[in-house]
Amino acid sequence: MAEPGIHFLDARGPDGVRLYAIGDVHGRLDLLAAMHQRIKAEIEQDRPADWRVIHLGDYVDRGPDSKGVIDFLIEAREREPRHLMLAGNHDIGFLEFLGTPDPEGLFMRYGGVQTALSYGVSLTADASWFGKAETMRRGHAALIEAAPQSHVDFLRSLPFSVTFGDFFFCHAGIRPGIPLEKQNPQDLVWIRDVFHNYSGLYPKIVVHGHTPVPEAEVMANRVNVDTLAWQSGMLSALVVDGADKRILEMAIKEA
Measured torsion, CA atoms of residues 163, 14, 241, 193, in degrees rounded to the nearest 10: 30
Model pTM score: 0.95
Cβ contacts of residue 56 below 8 Å, gap of 6+?
21, 22, 23, 24, 86, 88, 169, 170, 171, 207, 208, 209, 225, 226
pLDDT at position 134 is 79
What integer best gives the mean pLDDT of the chain?
Answer: 94
Which residues lie across from 238 on neighbouring strands? 21, 247
pLDDT at position 2 is 55
pLDDT at position 88 is 98
Residues in the chain with pLDDT < 50?
Answer: 1, 127, 255
pLDDT at position 133 is 75
Amino acid identity at 86? L
Residue 33, number of CB atoms within 10 A of its CB = 16
pLDDT at position 129 is 55
Q: Checking DSSP bridges between strand 167-170 and strand 205-208, what pairing results, if any?
A: parallel
The secondary element (H helix, E strand) that includes residue 247 is: strand 244-251
Class of domain 8-251: alpha beta
Coil, strand or helix: which one is 209?
A: coil
Cβ contacts of residue 189 below 8 Å, gap of 6+?
57, 87, 88, 89, 92, 160, 170, 171, 172, 210
pLDDT at position 104 is 86
d(CA 209, CA 216) in angstroms, rounded, equals 9
